[in-house]
Amino acid sequence: MGKASNLLDFLMKGSDYFDAPRIGGGRAKDPALYTPFSAVKHTKTAPSQYQVRGRIGEGLLPPSVIEPESLLGKNMYFATGDRTSNQRMIDEINEYILQDSPMTYGGPEYMDQVGRGVWASEANPMKAKANALRNASQRGEDILLSYMPMSERSGDFSKHMSDIYGSMIRSGGNRGGWRDNVSKIDDAIAERFPKLKTQVSISSPDFPAWLSSQKGGDRASLIKFFDSNQMQGLGMPDVAAARFAVTNPDLMLSDTASIGYRIGTPKPEGMPIRSNEHPSYNTFVERAEGTGSSTLGFDVPYIIGARDSALPKAASTGKLEAMPKDVKSYMGNPNINQFIDQQWVDEVSTYRNLLQSQGKARADEYTRNLLDAFIDR
């Protein structure tokens, strides 16, 4: 069967996001070979040399672009989520031809999908989020739900990540030499994950399906294990390249826990709804009737966007970047929110103006000044 011709082709190039490695190498650490997309040094292919080809599917509605002042008086709650794309069919990753063209269906563009909810997750966290939003609505709050990107490796939980990595294994022949190390790889997986049921050999055509059939937490653990020096040394495909392939291009370089990329409106007093419509997540919260997704059109650092909760966290470390424990606090506490007052509007607008007129370094300097003023108060 030929590939659909009415879909938009895309090409993602690592050189659009990452610096090239130093010519000639050298003994000094080369920053271009270390990125958040891998836990280890990029030894097979430098990220600047990544190339991903595919096609963009249908079913996404573009978000409306809003001004910061339009949110005045609302209470913004937060939806932490991975950075993966939605409705993208991946055909090629570097030298790998993915014959089954796995589809992505994650990340904040869930808010853009026709006929879907405002957010989806597993049952327990989604129930807690729905309860928090319902209680807020009953208190009379005008509520919003703002996406917060997690780390660059957070998509490992999603089924489409394992689908794509499994397809790289199946399509890779003997690239990297993993077929010469089948028994070593099988033994390493069995030793690291003794509780996984009916392990399938890496050499079996059924291994990709077995990998994707695991629970989300186990999928993530397996993918992270494949991104180790041990497994990369045994010839496993480049996990970082798969992570790059599934990442939403708009979020490739976004700051962790920033806000503004996608904002949705939950249904007032909505209930969590169980559903099998999403391959990775089984529960969603309804969106308010007649509403769609929106965007500020730029990323706002969490120190500004989630000011009241973020500034104390940042003050404890002195860093502008959100730490993993900070992200976990937003994941674990569904009641954290930010009231949108005039100070919020002014600070977000100032950040945007600096970002657009003088660049991110100057905008980040403004953010640093806000943090320093909070610490020194």
How many angstroms from the chain centroid is the CA of residue 256? 9
The predicted-structure confidence for 63-109, as pLDDT tens digits, reads as follows 999 999 999 999 999 999 999 999 999 999 999 999 899 999 989 99
Contact at 8 Å (CB) between 300 and 262? Answer: no
- pLDDT band at 187, cuts 50/70/90? very high
pLDDT of residue 111: 94
| Spatial separation of the C-alpha atoms in residues 233 and 239, rounded to whole Å | 12
| Weakest-pLDDT range from 44-48, 95-99, 173-177 | 173-177
Instruction: Provide DSSP, 237-261.
Output: --HHHHHHHHB-GGGTTPPTT-B-S
- pLDDT band at 2, cuts 50/70/90? very low
The predicted-structure confidence for 210-239, as pLDDT tens digits, reads as follows 999 999 999 999 999 999 999 999 999 999
How many angstroms from the chain centroid is the CA of residue 363? 23
pLDDT of residue 217: 93
Distance of CA 73 to CAs 52, 263, 304, 343, Å?
42, 15, 16, 11
Kindly report whether the global pTM for this prediction surpasses the value 0.95. no
E strand or H helix at 326, and its extent? helix 324-332
